[in-house]
């Protein structure tokens, strides 16, 4: 008789290889569930805009926060004036770097003024990362507050129908860290101090519109103010950097997945009932020896019914089932510590058919092993001559059945 090989647990690479989708006879790959037409929903006439967050949205949060929350102001010629905020286009920024200040259309130094521009965008992998950008599987679910399908009517109320809820799935965003260079221009140092105080107080907060998206902004330091003299004109300038923690969702990926990210809830569940013939036909086909017997089998007795059934001890034994893993193994025996075999009630077999044994995931026939109680442990002795291999501590041995652990 040829010696059988010992079963070995599968490696992770082998498990992943088994999960690869097969190829159809036509040579086309099997479509994932998200690509099948039956799992898609039409978005024709849908007025819900797909959620997108771009770099421009993050840029606009800085302008919004300056103008609506920080609201920097200075005293100019005895009057309180708001400080304008503008984005530094390449032409503007180059002119400022060359001249040291910004001029208006009339060639006059514009002060007070706050100007900023985006320097870099860095991907933040500490907060999460997608598995496959072509087929994202992580979504945030949002419910539409009102639609034509969940309109209130008395018919739904009378028929006990739940209004249909409409849900939209939005992919998890891509987290990024953005860096902005900022400059402040004023005529006097006192004006500069007031603006810096207002901006510094808003650091380490979430900037943006409360009804839209908010991004955390951090400002670490401000460069020492410098007086710039140009003829009879002068300006005070301060440089600082804003580090913004944001997230982006490109409109291209949401447009592609729009039909697959729309869901509807179930308004009602209906169970049908069918009859297979007349009442006489059903009663005739339902007659069995058990039905015609003088004694019927019930798990529990009922008032006015003569019954035979299991005792409470037998019921507990039938429903009992536990699974344990061997603590260690020798040549032909596996030991399960702090485990005991349940006592067999009257009328039940005490053979090994009460147990199931698995060695490295392979089922072992009950005729090839014996189970016994040794103190507080359960011992399983395997017929290694019949199995063709011996046991060791590296094996994964599982025993399930009429046993329980001792606590």
Predicted confidence (pLDDT) per residue in 222-247, tens digit: 986 666 555 566 678 888 999 999 88
CA distances from 5 to 77, 385, 389 (A): 96, 12, 7
* Residues 340 and 372 sit within 8 Å (Cβ to Cβ): no
State what percent of residues in the chain have pLDDT above 90: 12
For residue 97, give both structure tokens.
């770097």
Largest separation between any pair of C-alpha atoms in the chain:
120
The closest alpha carbon to 186, from 111, 123, 135, belongs to 111
pLDDT, greater one: 45 or 53: 53
* Residue ranges per structural domain of the chain: 41-273, 279-312, 314-405
- Which residue(s) pair with 245 in the sheet? 177, 216
**Region of poorest pLDDT, from 58-67, 182-191, 217-226, 263-272:** 263-272
Q: Say whether pLDDT at 308 is over 70.
A: no
For the structural domain made of 314-405, what CATH number should be given?
A: 2.60.40
User: Is the pTM value of this prediction over 0.85?
Assistant: no
Q: What is the pLDDT of residues 6-52, one digit of tens each?
A: 667 777 777 777 666 555 555 555 666 656 666 666 656 666 666 77
Residue 50: both structure tokens together: 């797909």
Q: Are 342 and 405 in contact (CB under 8 A)?
A: no
- The torsion angle over the Cα atoms of residues 186, 187, 190 and 193, rounded to 10 degrees, is 10
Average pLDDT over residues 164-171: 73
Pairing of strands 307-308, 296-297: parallel
For residue 218, pLDDT over 80 is answered with yes
Pick the CATH number of 41-273 from 2.70.98, 1.10.760, 3.40.50, 3.30.2000: 3.30.2000
Measure the CA–CA gap between 58 and 177, rounded to whole angstroms: 11
Contact (Cβ atoms closer than 8 angstroms) between residue 166 and residue 150: yes
């Amino acid at each position: 008789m040829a010696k059988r090989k010992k079963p070995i647990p599968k490696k992770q690479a082998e498990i992943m290889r088994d999960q690869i989708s097969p190829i159809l006879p036509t040579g086309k790959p099997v479509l994932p569930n998200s690509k099948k037409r039956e799992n898609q929903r039409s978005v024709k006439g849908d007025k819900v805009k797909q959620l997108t967050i771009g770099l421009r949205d993050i840029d606009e949060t800085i302008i919004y926060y300056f103008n609506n929350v920080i609201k920097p102001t200075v005293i100019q010629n005895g009057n309180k004036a708001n400080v304008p905020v503008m984005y530094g286009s390449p032409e503007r920024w180059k002119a400022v770097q060359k001249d040291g200040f910004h001029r208006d259309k009339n060639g006059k130094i514009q002060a007070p003024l706050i100007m900023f521009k985006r320097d870099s965008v860095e991907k933040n992998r500490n907060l999460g990362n997608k598995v496959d950008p072509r087929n994202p599987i992580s979504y945030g679910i949002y419910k539409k507050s009102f639609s034509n399908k969940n309109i209130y009517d008395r018919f739904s109320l009378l028929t006990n129908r739940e209004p249909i809820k409409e849900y939209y799935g939005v992919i998890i965003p891509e987290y990024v860290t953005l860096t902005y260079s900022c400059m402040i221009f004023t005529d006097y140092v006192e004006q500069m101090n007031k603006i810096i105080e207002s901006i510094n107080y808003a650091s380490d907060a979430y900037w943006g519109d409360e009804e839209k998206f908010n991004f955390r902004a951090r400002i670490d330091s401000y460069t020492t103010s410098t007086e710039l003299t140009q003829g009879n004109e002068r300006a005070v300038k301060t440089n600082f950097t804003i580090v913004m923690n944001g997230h982006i969702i490109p409109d291209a990926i949401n447009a592609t997945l729009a039909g697959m990210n729309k869901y509807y809830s179930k308004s009602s569940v209906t169970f049908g009932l069918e009859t297979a013939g007349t009442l006489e036909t059903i009663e005739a086909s339902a007659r069995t020896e058990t039905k015609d017997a003088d004694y019927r089998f019930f798990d529990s007795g009922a008032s006015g019914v003569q019954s035979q059934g299991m005792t409470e001890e037998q019921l507990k034994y039938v429903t009992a089932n536990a699974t344990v893993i061997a603590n260690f193994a020798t040549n032909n025996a596996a030991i399960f510590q702090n485990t005991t075999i349940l006592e067999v009630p009257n009328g039940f077999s005490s053979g090994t058919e009460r147990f199931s044994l698995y060695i490295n995931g392979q089922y072992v026939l009950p005729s090839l092993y014996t189970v016994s109680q040794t103190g507080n442990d359960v011992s399983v002795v395997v017929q290694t001559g019949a199995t063709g291999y011996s046991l060791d501590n590296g094996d994964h041995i599982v025993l399930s059945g009429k046993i329980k652990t001792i606590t």
